[in-house]
Amino acid sequence: MQAPTMRTEHPNRGRVYVSESGPAAVLDAYRSQFHADFLAFLSCRADEMRPRGLLILTFVARRTARPTAHDCYLWDFLADALMDMAADGLVDEEQVHAFNVPFYGPCLDDLAKVIAREGSFTVRTMQLFDISRRCLLLQSASDDDDDLPQWLAMETTSTVRAVVEPMLRAHFGLEAMDGLFCRYSLRLEEYYRSNTSRNKDDLTNVFLVLEKKLH
């Protein structure tokens, strides 16, 4: 997905993605960009497929039309870490305001609308499910639940860094990366230790099976 184009300069100040309390215009821009990109993706796949062929997809999604805090926490903490670095003079604050990640976790309504609009597919399966590292990491944490938040923070940071560091490095510079992800890991550990979100690392995904129509 491309990063959405915002009509007003830097309306998503202090954030790098949609947020539970963020401006509606930011969510609208992300949704609009996702609809355009997913429509183009489906159209290209339809051209490649025979009638009654199956297209099977899975990716990060969300359960509600309006993103919740848990839907956005990975990106909110990344933004918070960047803003901390800006306050310490380690990155340019205006660069933080100008950066928006090219990612969008759609709700089921987003998917249904785009699939219907594109028109080449029938939905055979559209199912949400959650994934989590907790059970696997408990074994590595010596069965001590007190160690789990630190392990979750380390593993999550490693995964997120592998995905987003190339684009962050191009925008903020290589020298900022180690400090950024150290701050990020500390924020994640605090989140996973919180009484309200303790060890809550689950992410919602969608499993889609689409059948190419006969026409």
Residue 19 within a domain: no
Summarised one tens digit per residue, pLDDT across range 145-158 is 788 999 999 999 99
Residue 16 within a domain: no
Q: Give the span between the Cα atoms of 18 and 131, in whole angstroms.
A: 21
Q: DSSP secondary structure string, 181-209?
A: HHHHHHHHHHHHHSTTTTT---EEEEEEE
Count of structural domains within the chain: 1
Mean pLDDT of 175-186: 97
Whether the model pTM is above 0.85 = yes
Residue 70's domain spans which residues? Answer: 24-212
Residue 155: the pLDDT is 93
Residue 207 within a domain: yes
Q: Which residue has the higher pLDDT, 52 or 133?
A: 52
Residue 48 within a domain: yes
Residue 134: the pLDDT is 80
Residue 28 within a domain: yes
Q: Give the span between the Cα atoms of 11 and 14, in whole angstroms.
A: 9
Residue 172 within a domain: yes
CATH of the domain at 59: 3.40.50
Return mean pLDDT, the chain: 92
DSSP state at residue 175? G
Summarised one tens digit per residue, pLDDT across range 46-78 is 999 999 999 999 999 999 999 999 999 999 999
Name the one residue in this structure whose structure tokens are 């800006």. Answer: 86
